[in-house]
Chains A and B, each alone.
Chain A
Amino acid sequence: MTFQWHVIWESLPRLLDGAVMTIWLSVVTMLIAMPGGLLWSFMRMSRFKAISLLSACFVEFFRATPLILQIYWVYYVLPAYFDIRLSQIGTAILGLSCNISAFNSETFRSGIVSIRKGQWSAGRAIGMTDRQIMWHIVLPQAVLRVLPALATTWVSLFKDTSLVSIISVADLSYVSLKIRSETYRILEVLTAMAAIYWLMGYPQAKLVDWIHRRYKVTE
């Protein structure tokens, strides 16, 4: 068989547009899912049972079901049954944000509970309120401690954005699959798609390893 790599060079601008969309989706989702995750983790630790239970249900449910199904659910069910109309990109971001904030919530919670109880007592002893202790003492340490876990979530989010191609959001995988069906150069286009993902993802995977080494918890 003969390879026709010129197809790739001709469609490179579109592939790069797709790659930009992939990066944009990851950034926006993470910007929503960081405060979102923190909020769910605070709710989980709330002294009100109902709020804590609500958060537990949300987090466990989104962690135990496939992201691709969550995206389909948001896409088909919200407009048809609840009359909520979102654009495709809006749907994608909603689905991704719910999923990632559930994972972030558990990450933040594990960081917060890992800070020794003595620090709370010390804070109270010098007259701080619980809120002050959380914001000024516990949270800064907790966030630093869970940085490696957040970085790992970032990389899996970056990969998972490829799933929004099923609802026709023009990210890298959607654009590639489209070019594939226009040109019939299946092998070339799919290999180029994998290569572009690799070029973007490999340095990130290495960076995560570095963050893990740099911020490893040693006690």
Chain B
Amino acid sequence: MTISLAPFIDSWPFLLKAVGVTLFISVFSMLLGFVIGVIVGSLRTYGGKFLDMTLGFYVDTMRAIPLLVILVWVYFAFPMLTGHSINVTAAAIAALGIHLGAYIAETIRAGLTSVRKTQMSAALALGMSRTQAVRTIILPQAVIRMLPSLGSLFVFAVKDSAIASVIAVPELLRQTQVVAGNTYRPFELYTAAMLVYFLLCFPVARGVDMIYKRVAHLGSS
């Protein structure tokens, strides 16, 4: 077996651009997921029983349905309902975002509820409002505790963005397939794509762990 680096010499600008698209999709789906997660997570924690149940249904539904299914539904089926076609990249960000949003919501809820109830009671006894108590006492501790999970969810966002190749978003996996198909060099190209994903994900995972170790004491009570 011979290894040829020719495909990279010819198509590295094409593949580099694809890495950019992968990062773009990951970052924006994470942002969308974060917005959904903050709203859903805090409403489930502080919004009363009815909201908790309704939004819980959304969260559990996203935990039950594969991302691939959500993705093809958003891209192929949703436009049939509205009658307007949808841009692939937007579909990918939307599908990844609403899927990830459920997981981020759970992380945020777990963080908020991990701060003991007595702290809220103590704050109310001191005459603080509920909003003040959440903002100045509960949130600063909860945010630190959420950090490791949010970090691993971002890694999941990067990895899951590869599933968008199924609807032909020009991200790294899709463009790797294109070049592999043209050059008949699947080994080199898929291996290189693996290394790129590893280089994107592994430092993020370890970096978040390191940051967390430094700041973990701020979240303990």
Instruction: Give the B-binding residues of A (Cβ under 8 A).
Output: 1, 60-61, 63-70, 72-73, 76-77, 80-81, 155, 159-163, 165-166, 173, 177, 180, 186-187, 190-191, 193-194, 197-198, 200-202, 204-206
Q: Say how far A175's CB is from chain B's closest CB, in angstroms.
A: 12
Q: Knowing A76-B186, A76-B190, say if A66 contacts B63 (CB, 8 Å).
A: no
Q: Say how far A16's CB is from chain B's closest CB, in angstroms.
A: 16
Cross-chain contact A73 with B190 (CB below 8 angstroms): yes
Question: Does residue B5 face the partner (Cβ distance < 8 Å to A)?
Answer: no
Cross-chain contact A68 with B165 (CB below 8 angstroms): yes
Interface segment, one of B37-45, B130-138, B155-163, B213-221: B155-163
Cross-chain contact B77 with A65 (CB below 8 angstroms): no
Q: For B194, what are the chain A residues with a Cβ–Cβ distance below 8 Å? A: 61, 65, 69-70, 73
Q: Say how far B65's CB is from chain A's closest CB, in angstroms.
A: 5
Interface size on B, residues (CB 8 A): 40
Q: Knowing A159-B65, A186-B80, A197-B69, say if A65 contacts B159 (CB, 8 Å).
A: yes
Interface segment, one of B6-14, B28-36, B140-148, B197-205: B197-205
Question: Does residue B46 face the partner (Cβ distance < 8 Å to A)?
Answer: no
Cross-chain contact B160 with A66 (CB below 8 angstroms): yes
Q: How far is the CA of A77 from the CA of B163 in the complex (A)?
A: 19
Cross-chain contact B190 with A194 (CB below 8 angstroms): no
Does more than half of chain B's interface fall in helix, strand or loop, or is it mixed?
helix
Q: Say how far A66's CB is from chain B's closest CB, in angstroms.
A: 4
Q: How far is the CA of A80 from the CA of B187 in the complex (A)?
A: 8
Q: How far is the CA of A7 from the CA of B55 in the complex (A)?
A: 32
Cross-chain contact B80 with A173 (CB below 8 angstroms): no
Does more than half of chain A's interface fall in helix, strand or loop, or is it mixed?
helix
Cross-chain contact A73 with B198 (CB below 8 angstroms): no
Contact of A191 among B61, B64, B73, B191 (CB under 8 A): B73
- Which residue of the partner chain A has the closest CB to B152? A63
Q: How far is the CA of A177 from the CA of B77 in the complex (A)?
A: 12
Q: How far is the CA of A65 from the CA of B200 in the complex (A)?
A: 9
Cross-chain contact A160 with B66 (CB below 8 angstroms): yes
Cross-chain contact A159 with B66 (CB below 8 angstroms): yes
Contact of B190 among A77, A190, A197, A205 (CB under 8 A): A77
Q: Say how far B161's CB is from chain A's closest CB, in angstroms.
A: 8
Cross-chain contact B80 with A66 (CB below 8 angstroms): no
Q: For B24, what are the chain A residues with a Cβ–Cβ distance below 8 Å? A: none
Cross-chain contact B80 with A64 (CB below 8 angstroms): no
Q: For B197, what are the chain A residues with a Cβ–Cβ distance below 8 Å? A: 64-66, 69
Contact of B63 among A67, A69, A155, A165 (CB under 8 A): A155
